[in-house]
Amino acid sequence: MSKDSMNRRKFLTGVAVAGASSLLLRDVAWAAEPTLEETLKWIQVKLEEYGNTGYQAGGAYRTEKFRLVEFDIRQKMVAFTRVIDIDHGGDLTYRYDFCLSDLIPKVEHEEVDKYNYYHIRVWATDYKEKIKETYLFDKRTKMLPDFTLGTRLMAEKPEDEVGHRIGKALAHAIKLSGGQPHGVKTNEPF
């Protein structure tokens, strides 16, 4: 084999190895989990599109809108709003503020109710009252042990449901923020 053909073979082998390595690195980069910021932005966009529902309840037409209105990545704080309008008579707005690390990183309750509304519920660690609910009309507040988010039903299979995917994304955000499963003692060394 001549020196030229040997150098050409080494060059082509090097190109093939480099190409395969770059494809492998690209696949690894695509497989990376979304960051906390990417996850919260995704939830924000999906709630803007799917966080509305309308239904007849007790003789009145009621609409509800859920939104992720604020988040602070460093503090791991989020704020959701729930706006309820009954027969277009004005809005009742609630705001829910909490630290993601204070929640259990699992969606505990998902259901479709009789109004075709998909519910996602998360709980505070050890079921303590760590979620602040503020009624914005008169600034009344109370602390809650859980938070329920709703989306309108869009899919026939639960695993395809946007609400199901939002629940998984919320659990992912909680996990990334350091949320602990119920019963885990984080302050004790034993």
Q: Tens of pLDDT along 99-113?
A: 999 999 887 656 666
- The number of folded domains in the chain is 2
Please check whether residues 158 and 64 belong to one and the same domain. Answer: yes
Please check whether residues 57 and 145 belong to one and the same domain. Answer: yes
Per residue in 45-89, pLDDT (tens digit) is 999 888 887 777 778 888 889 999 999 999 999 999 999 888 777
187 lies in some domain: no
How high is the pLDDT of residue 190? 39
CA 158 centroid distance within chain: 16
185 lies in some domain: no
Report the percent of the chain where pLDDT is more than 90: 37
CA 83 centroid distance within chain: 19
Domain that holds residue 100: 36-176
Given a cut of 80, is residue 22 above it in pLDDT? no
Q: Which residues pair with 121 in a beta bridge?
A: 109, 148
Please check whether residues 9 and 53 belong to one and the same domain. Answer: no
Please check whether residues 3 and 57 belong to one and the same domain. Answer: no
Given a cut of 60, is residue 134 above it in pLDDT? yes
3 lies in some domain: yes
181 lies in some domain: no
Please check whether residues 20 and 61 belong to one and the same domain. Answer: no
Given a cut of 80, is residue 8 above it in pLDDT? no
Tokens representing residue 125 in the block:
């660690």
Please check whether residues 57 and 98 belong to one and the same domain. Answer: yes
